[in-house]
Structure 1
Amino acid sequence: MIYVDPKILARVNQWLTPFFDEKIQHEIKEMIAHDPKKLEDTFYKNLEFGTGGMRGIMGAGDNRINKYTLGKNTQGLSNYLKRQFPNQEIKVAIAFDCRHNSKEFAKLVADVFSANGIKVFLFSELRPTPELSFAVKYLDCKAGIVLTASHNPPEYNGYKVYWEDGGQLVPPQDGEIIAEINSLKYQDTKFEANEDLIQLIDSEVDEAFAKASIENGTFGTSSEAKDNLKIVFTSLHGTSITMVPQVLDQAAYKNVSIVKEQAEPDGDFPTVKSPNPEEPAALKMALDLAEKEHADIVIGTDPDCDRLGVAVRNNENKMELLNGNQTMVLMTHFLLEQWKKAGKLNGKQFVASTIVSTPLVEKIADHYGVKYIEGLTGFKWIAKMIKDYPELEFIGGGEESFGYLVGDFVRDKDAVTATLLACEIAAQKKAEGSSMFQYMQDIYNEFGEYREHLISITKKGKEGAEEISAMMKELRENPFKEIGGSKVSRMDDILIDKRTDFTSGKTTNLNLPKSNVLIYYTEDGSKIAARPSGTEPKIKFYISVTTGASAKNSSVPQAEKENSDEILQKKIDAIKAQLNVH
């Protein structure tokens, strides 16, 4: 007799009642008979909203993405929308990516909204996530949904919710909606569609989005410079193939080679281990094509086209993948340069980033006299900044995880416009006899060398969640006194909203929303953050080190400037060894 926790068994038995379809019930019975550990993982909790919405493995159960969990979420959101906007026509927009079941799930979600008397604009085929964010405002919707699991493995899917400003849910809406969802039973879901309220959308929104992308992402690059830039692009089997090539073409970038083997949308992502442009292996085919074509730049986007990876030729003429922090630094510096040249900087603008990203963005913003605002991880917080600071004009913002946003016509990271911006930078620098890589070196020479390193450790299931919790507990209760040979000067614990200054012994409030993040700062300028992922079974460690050795800093020994790469790598290695993570 296989033992099953009575609490879990009670949850299981709810799914074996006639309301749930035979396929779902069969899947559950198979787990009961043959895989009690999987059964426990499937039912020990409800799927939760994290930094990027709700993501999970597809299958039967409370802790899975399926017809019933999506239906209940949509019913709760419908109830909330009707309460928030009484006596108004409520419209929502829905998009979906290339994943298995995404199209079917999108229609299911549309059915539930329509069954509740809500007007639905449903994309007829897959589209990039940033286009959904754009569509919410463009179509005057109160909310938007995109069915996507971003760069997660093929067995995952997800459900991201956007509010009327085009940004993802933030407090208090997220908590209020979750409370509404939790108050419901699965049987409360209205699945019977009102087809009259579902309208398919495609080319009109595509054209408007492409036009806005070009208006925000181009900066007077000459036709000759555009013609001389050789671009390799890969969609990694995802949604960007529907928009990026046409936006580049409309912006007069004609010299574009597309990785054909990865151009077909496919939820199995057959040519890559992981469709994540953060991982160099994902861009191998693109890099190989770049060598064959003698390309200047490689760009690859994740399946829902909100993140991008960029590779450029280094000073040895070899393709080198930039990390997310470097891409963000280049884009921010370039935008501020362009705004300054146009005479548009007047102290009423801001750029944005996150608490786990490079400190270099703030230094650049200060140099240009532009306000720098920092928030929690996730672009929903950058979207919230745009809403919270209406007196300031948003120029651009990014985070270390390969996401960037140009202007506020979209309110989420946007790999369509960021791809265009990357090409603008590369084309202009090449025309000047420089390169994108050399531009990065020039920025380091001016502001000091920085290097960042991300360590991501996967811990699956209930046991994995407990391991991650134990790791964070240890880091909090037994804080490091020194890291990598340098004294810890302060520690920020975002979970309890407290900053501890170890030099003065004083504690102050951070005034950030509570989040399970811990950040150490050392006297030599290093920054180490630990954070469990909000959307994946992972714990992430973010390491940033610096020499502080800008070319203009005469107090720094010349040898330190010349050997900065080696010095910075040694710092990173020492920190990794002390954290015992690899």
Structure 2
Amino acid sequence: MTLSPRILDAVNEWFTPTFDAATQEAVLLLMTSSPEEMEECFYKNMEFGTGGMRGLMGMGNNRINKYTLGKSTQGLSNYLHTCFPNQSLKVVIAYDCRHNSASLAKVVADVFSANGIQVYLFSDLRPTPELSFALRYLECHCGIVLTASHNPPEYNGYKVYWQDGGQIVPPEDAEIINMIEKLDYDQIKFKVNESLIHYIDTEIDEAFIQSSILNASFKTPKKAKENLKIVFTSLHGTAITVVPQTLSQAGYNNVYLVEEQAEPNGNFPTVQSPNPEEPDALAMALALANIVDADIVIGTDPDGDRLGVAVRNTEGQMILLNGNQSMILMTAFLLEQWKKEDKINGKQFVGSTIVSTPMIAVLAEAYGVECKLGLTGFKWIAKMIKDFPDLEFIGGGEESFGYMVGDAVRDKDAVAATLLICEVAAQAKARGSSVYEELLQLYVQYGFYQEHLISITKKGIEGLATIKQMMVSFRENPWQELNGQKVIRIEDYKSSFAQNLLTGETEILPFPKADVLIFFTEDGSKICARPSGTEPKIKFYISVHSHLDCVENYTNIAGSLKEKINSIRIQIELELDTFS
């Protein structure tokens, strides 16, 4: 295989004195042993997506390593000095259980310190939501967490948080990227100033735990907490450092840990994928739940920001809730608690995303609370809190198993959300009900919404091109019908236009531009097409709904909605086959 001159130029830069001998040896070995992989490593610079910078670890501009992270940190340091001139700058850094996370976090700390910036570095792994909390607690200007969420073991990542505790959003994101892209590798300052690096741990832990209890506890009786049997697994990740302690201090002591998965391990040896969205990831927890007759199972991803929840259905079988269902349950519970405390006065809101269930907006309206929608990613929900300081944020979530309770943490927070769903379960059980029965009652009251996700992986350069071509095709040849139902509205977030196909009228979408298409049909179905911002995937989100007059009719209506989803899924997959 012959490498292009552009890629050769990128490779040759890594043989200059800027790069250490070990790095140069690794690049040389890659060049001689696997030129195809060499092209993947150098054909582009790693980019920021919806969750920051995430990718495979290794050598090259398109890999996570000390130089790509060093360059990003140098650019960020320059930007901080520009934004906050003559200020004593402070940043906080956390990292998860992944391979190289601790050493890469130290590299990032070194570069910040070399630029005269005070660094607060966690002494050991901590969950991502604790980083967001610590940023505001320590009054820092910026925060970094080294994580690749639920990606496979060979991945790592770099997420940037701003003063408000949320991930960077426009205009900061583009300005930081521009600052980074102006740099050459030889401009990275690696010479550490150890006097500027401060290690943090238990003080922040305790403050974070107490904040979680304050935000996610709602007068659940002591006996109800004691009667709830909980199985928890951290899936070898960071949540083990705070979730058991949070539950215990909140009064939940009937907790069974999946011990085989309690030890942090970047290989994630007991699961194929450390993703609580995947039923297989919770298999060991579900088995333990059946042994101890647990009421609820909770699993968190490696950096402790997402949670999967399983509960018993009316037949006593454990079933995994999807992200939309757990979001609806927690939001309904929060709204009801706020209503009981007479705290709703029209100046509150809940947040979600354009690809999540429409049921959350129906729910919010019933309580007289505004529902604000953003693009995919919790940084947009965090931005809502910043943009609307006169409104109180109650809670919010998205379909990808993330939830945020209150505004102490400005990102997905599996710690407070774990406590919150236990509050839902404990209070329901004390009333002679269950989480599952509560969900069915919500469907009767607000409409029966069902969702399904199709996720197609397309790796590498060719995969990226295929995904781009798919989106071009959907725009040039949009669906006219889905499941025999006419498409009556199309929202294109890349052009920022929506069109009513019945009237021909168009409107401007009040969102930042994004590569997202949403189709609405005459029967109320909603289908969204979106490339992932952090993984080599294209995703299709299907939402359908129906009226449910009583719980007894649940099975029949669920069957008809499943048939509708399957028909739409088959139509989508047949079209995708043309790109194979």
Q: Which range, TM-score by smaller chain?
A: over 0.9
**Residue in 2 aligned with 1:568?**
561
Matched, 1:41 2:34: no
CA deviations on 1:474-513 (whole Å, 9 max, x unpaired) are 1111001110121111010001101011111111100100
Distance 1:30 1:544 in 2: 49
Kept in 1: contact 2:93–2:143 (CA 8 A)? yes
Matched, 1:580 2:568: no
SS at 1:351 equivalent: strand
Deviation at 1:550, TM superposition (A): 4.5
What are the equivalent positions in structure 2 for 1:113-192 lying under 5 Å apart?
A: 113-192=112-191
**Residue in 1 aligned with 2:543?**
544
Distance 2:196 2:78 in 1: 17
TM-score normalised to the size of structure 1? 0.98
Kept in 1: contact 2:113–2:194 (CA 8 A)? yes
Deviation at 1:41, TM superposition (A): 0.7
CA deviations on 1:240-273 (whole Å, 9 max, x unpaired) are 0000000000001000000000000000000000
Deviation at 1:562, TM superposition (A): 5.9
SS at 1:95 equivalent: strand
Partner amino acid, structure 2, of 1:570: E
Kept in 2: contact 1:449–1:550 (CA 8 A)? no
**Residue in 1 aligned with 2:281?**
282
**Residue in 2 aligned with 1:98?**
97
SS at 2:210 equivalent: helix
Compared with structure 1, are the counterparts of its residues 241 and 232 closer, same or farther at alpha carbon in structure 2 (3 Å cutoff)?
A: same
Distance 1:104 1:24 in 2: 15
Distance 1:22 1:283 in 2: 43
**Residue in 1 aligned with 2:243?**
244
SS at 1:165 equivalent: coil
Matched, 1:482 2:481: yes
What are the equivalent positions in structure 2 for 1:414-563 lying under 5 Å apart?
A: 414-551=413-550, 563=556
SS at 1:232 equivalent: strand
Distance 1:498 1:26 in 2: 51
What are the equivalent positions in structure 2 for 1:78-477 lying under 5 Å apart?
A: 78-477=77-476
Kept in 1: contact 2:444–2:547 (CA 8 A)? no
Compared with structure 1, are the counterparts of its residues 250 and 274 closer, same or farther at alpha carbon in structure 2 (3 Å cutoff)?
A: same
SS at 1:317 equivalent: coil
Partner amino acid, structure 2, of 1:112: V
Distance 1:161 1:205 in 2: 19
Q: Moved runs in structure 1, 4+ residues, more than 3 A?
A: 548-552
Distance 1:113 1:539 in 2: 35
Partner amino acid, structure 1, of 2:77: S
Distance 1:67 1:245 in 2: 33
Deviation at 1:30, TM superposition (A): 2.0
Deviation at 1:551, TM superposition (A): 4.6
Partner amino acid, structure 2, of 1:141: C
Partner amino acid, structure 2, of 1:290: A
Deviation at 1:33, TM superposition (A): 1.5
Distance 1:420 1:511 in 2: 34
TM-score normalised to the size of structure 2? 0.98
Partner amino acid, structure 1, of 2:400: S
Compared with structure 1, are the counterparts of its residues 485 and 548 closer, same or farther at alpha carbon in structure 2 (3 Å cutoff)?
A: farther
Kept in 2: contact 1:448–1:551 (CA 8 A)? no
Kept in 2: contact 1:358–1:544 (CA 8 A)? yes
Distance 1:222 1:36 in 2: 63
Q: Which runs of 5+ in 2 are unaligned?
A: none
Partner amino acid, structure 2, of 1:67: K
- Cα RMSD of the aligned pairs, angstroms, is 1.1
**Residue in 2 aligned with 1:555?**
none
CA deviations on 1:266-317 (whole Å, 9 max, x unpaired) are 0000000000000000000000000001000000000000000000000000
Deviation at 1:464, TM superposition (A): 0.5
SS at 2:302 equivalent: coil
SS at 1:409 equivalent: coil
Distance 1:32 1:260 in 2: 43
Q: How many residues align?
A: 575
Distance 2:543 2:23 in 1: 46
Partner amino acid, structure 2, of 1:189: I
Distance 1:501 1:382 in 2: 27
Compared with structure 1, are the counterparts of its residues 522 and 404 closer, same or farther at alpha carbon in structure 2 (3 Å cutoff)?
A: same
Distance 1:296 1:546 in 2: 28
Kept in 1: contact 2:529–2:539 (CA 8 A)? yes
Identity rate, percent: 64
Moved more, 32-41 or 241-250: 32-41
Distance 2:194 2:153 in 1: 30
Kept in 2: contact 1:379–1:412 (CA 8 A)? yes
Distance 2:541 2:22 in 1: 43
SS at 1:397 equivalent: strand
Deviation at 1:34, TM superposition (A): 2.3
CA deviations on 1:147-197 (whole Å, 9 max, x unpaired) are 000000000000000000000000000000000000000110000110000
Partner amino acid, structure 1, of 2:392: E
Deviation at 1:27, TM superposition (A): 2.1
SS at 1:320 equivalent: strand
Distance 2:496 2:557 in 1: 35
Deviation at 1:105, TM superposition (A): 0.5
SS at 2:422 equivalent: helix
Distance 1:562 1:280 in 2: 21
Distance 1:213 1:565 in 2: 35
SS at 2:451 equivalent: strand
Distance 2:38 2:262 in 1: 37
Partner amino acid, structure 2, of 1:163: W
Deviation at 1:31, TM superposition (A): 2.3
Kept in 1: contact 2:458–2:536 (CA 8 A)? yes
Partner amino acid, structure 2, of 1:38: E
SS at 1:161 equivalent: strand
Deviation at 1:530, TM superposition (A): 0.7
Compared with structure 1, are the counterparts of its residues 438 and 24 closer, same or farther at alpha carbon in structure 2 (3 Å cutoff)?
A: same
Kept in 1: contact 2:131–2:143 (CA 8 A)? yes
Deviation at 1:549, TM superposition (A): 3.7
SS at 1:268 equivalent: coil
Partner amino acid, structure 2, of 1:563: N
